[in-house]
Structures are given as C-alpha cells and as structure tokens.
C-alpha cells in the first residue's frame, strides 16, 4: 500500500466535483471537529435526549444546564498509535477530540428535575417538564 500525501490547500480549493471523485480514504477530518449524533423526542412527562458516544468513557462526559440551554460536552480519546517506531497508520476514520452539543429546554426547567444515565455508549438525558402555572388574574384598582 502506498501513502497518499495530502495538501491542505488542495482540500480548501477543491470543487465538490473533485471531492466526489476522490477516493474516500483520502478525505480526512481535523482533530476535534466532530459532534455526537443525537435523538430528541418528547413525551407527556419529559424531553428525552439520547446521544451516541461510542468509545467515550462516562468520566469524560459532562451535562450542564445554564440559562435555559442544556449542554453535553466531552472528549473522545485518540486510540491510534502515533510517533511509535515501527507503527504505520494506513487509515484513520474514527473521530476523536472534544465535542459539544447544546439544546434549548423549556423555560422553568430546574437542574434537580434532570436525570442523566450512560450505558453501552449512549448518554440518555431526561428533562422533566416544568409545571405549567395558570396565568393569574388580579384586579387592578383604578384611581
């Protein structure tokens, strides 16, 4: 197998036609330029978010609620050997590096009403619906 030398200017200046005809093993993704795929659905009780995080350790994932935005952050560690004598990488398709996904949540959601679990490479987050307060009517005195 021969190595293909990549020119970053070629990547930037290539037309879509050039990219379509280029063999898939020549395309590459920069470190840290990935985001996990997520499914979001709603039930009567909660907003459910499921993020696929294969190869990510539970300790490397964080979930935070700030100003009505739920943010999932983390880092996937690089697995391939680099710089080790006698080791040659022929293809690296797995993405790695830091990631972040953000989701707007309904107004009034409290952090203690959010549950998160991590199993089999999937992060599941359940955001309980906030209690809906009926609009209050108060008479206003006319002076």
For 73-107, how does the pLDDT look when each residue is reduced to its tens digit (9 = 90+)?
A: 999 887 766 667 777 777 777 788 899 999 999 88
- Number of Cβ within a 10 Å radius of residue 58: 12
pTM above 0.75, yes or no: no
Instruction: Please give the pLDDT value at position 23.
Output: 46
Cβ atoms of residues 126 and 115 within 8 Å = yes
C-alpha–C-alpha distance, residues 13 and 126, integer Å: 44
- Name the strand (E) or helix (H) holding 44: none
Q: Which residues of the chain have pLDDT under 50?
A: 1-5, 23-32
Would you state the structure tokens that stand for residue 137, as one six-digit string? 């009517």
Instruction: Please give the pLDDT value at position 137.
Output: 87
- Name the strand (E) or helix (H) holding 76: strand 69-76
């Amino acid at each position: 197998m021969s190595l293909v030398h990549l020119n970053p200017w070629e990547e930037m200046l290539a037309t879509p036609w050039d990219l379509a005809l280029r063999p898939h093993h020549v395309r590459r993704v920069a470190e840290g330029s990935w985001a996990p795929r997520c499914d979001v659905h709603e039930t009567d009780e909660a907003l459910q978010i499921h993020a696929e995080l294969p190869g990510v350790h539970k300790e490397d994932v964080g979930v935070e609620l700030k100003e009505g935005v739920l943010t999932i952050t983390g880092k996937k560690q690089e697995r391939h050997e680099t710089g080790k004598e006698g080791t040659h990488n022929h293809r690296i398709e797995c993405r790695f590096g830091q990631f972040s996904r953000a989701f707007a949540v309904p107004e009034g959601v409290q952090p203690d009403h959010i549950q998160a679990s991590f199993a089999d490479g999937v992060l599941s987050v359940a955001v309980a619906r906030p209690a809906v307060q009926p609009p209050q009517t108060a008479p206003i005195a006319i002076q």
